[in-house]
Amino acid sequence: MSNSLRIGIAGLGTVGAGVVKILAERSTHLTAACGRPLELVAVSARDKTRDRGIDLSGVRWEDDPMALASAGDIDLVVELIGGSEGIARELVEASLKAGKHVATANKALVAHHGTALAQAAESKGVALNYEAAVAGGIPIVKAMREALAGNEIRSIHGILNGTCNYILTEMETTGRDFADVLKDAQDLGYAEADPTFDVGGIDAAHKLAILASLAFGTEVDFDNVHIEGIEKISATDIAFAKDFGFKVKLLAIAEKSDDGIVQRVHPALVPEGTPLAAVSGVYNAVAVDGDRVGHLVLEGRGAGEGPTASAVLSDIVDIARGLIVAPFIVPATKLKAPARPLMEAHKSSFYLRLRAVDRAGSMAAITRALAEASISIERIVQRGGKGDDSGRLPVVFVTHETDESTMARARTLLAQHEDVAGTPLMIRIEDGELR
């Protein structure tokens, strides 16, 4: 049998500990599957005394993770520290420079520096694998790299953040509002104490930037992802959406347009009965539209010890088997600079909720204002009741297709209208591509 693949792991949090457990518990199977043993040589983490429920006897402890990059007895560095800068970036760059393979679950690092890291890996003939960086246990990176390589990808639609999906699912099920459900998610460990990256859409945008590069052969382009979070979504919106036959989801979308690749993350109304509408709780899903395979949907757990550690192991196994491929399918030097179409040109139908003064003639005045802004209305729903503390009642408009710039002007006009309180909430309706 050939020599073992010698592994060093930086970061022993939930995922790192999970990787150690799989390496120990599945050792015999993994050796047979890889044709060589997988040997955990060294680890590095902040606190050596912490009980992680794993056996590290016989494994070298390094206080400084950078020691893994220079160690002569390590072939593969597994980076599970996290963060786009600092020690995580330094470790990955140093490891690649030293001619070591790298496997990482760090979506922020790959989203911000993926192109440069891919160039570094390719120059040394080593692997840069990151299956665990996108959608947890769903093997979407491997699918894009290998199974779908013969396809021209037309679009990707994903539910890529389990925290947001859990919150929106609970709001729909219980009728509670965002802040209340977010607190529950934090208590259950589904959301961080500072949930900004999750609920603000940034985490999903990191993952989308990676998928877009894989799908379209472009440089990773996180800076040009349009990002909106779910903080302004209310139980009222979810109830209205249900009445209309939709569910509210945080979608991550990458698609070709005449002007280039559009990347956008935002709440959307998704038709009930479609695969993405059915994805609930902490689950993730990715829908890929290819010219040969058609519409393909992969669904599974998007985070947690088991799914993410499983994804890391898939990367390790590929490396042990000698499967070294370009990180973004085509060589990094051939990745195209992405064209960056303006979000303002995007067209869709829109859900528009505002708070209207409860008086005779207010609805007619608001409707006239929308017509003057070139917005064509498909449906209006006004619910009776006592309104909010200022006496305003929620009113929802569903528009016919229009572009973002026209809708932005309409919202500005309505925000200044005497019969409207505040700036109306807008949610895009994603329909045709998801059926």
C-alpha of 66 from chain center: 29
Report yes or no: 38 and 76 within 8 Å, Cβ to Cβ. Answer: no
Q: Where do we find the tokens 């590095």?
A: 44
Would you call 207 a catalytic residue per the annotation?
yes
Q: Where do we find the tokens 């963060």?
A: 83
> On the CB side of 137, how many CA atoms lie within 13 Å of its CA?
15
Given its phi and psi angles, is residue 246 left (phi above 0), alpha (psi -120 to 50 degrees) or beta?
A: beta
Given its phi and psi angles, is residue 272 left (phi above 0), alpha (psi -120 to 50 degrees) or beta?
A: beta
Report the C-alpha gap between 303 and 250 in whole angstroms: 16
Sequence-distant (6+) residues with CB within 8 A of 1 are 31, 35, 36, 37
Given the residues 100, 107, 207, 249, select the one marked as catalytic. 207
Report the C-alpha gap between 79 and 10 in whole angstroms: 5
Report the C-alpha gap between 131 and 319 in whole angstroms: 12
> On the CB side of 112, how many CA atoms lie within 13 Å of its CA?
13
| Per-residue tokens: 179 | 């802040």
**What is the number of other CB atoms lying within 10 angstroms of the CB of residue 201?**
28
| Per-residue tokens: 351 | 């859900």
Number of H helices, E strands in the chain: 14, 17
What is the SS3 string spanning 88-124? Answer: HHHHHHHHHHCCCEEEECCHHHHHHHHHHHHHHHHHH
Q: Which of 15, 13, 67 is nearest to 41 (CA)?
A: 67
- Active centre residues (catalytic): 207
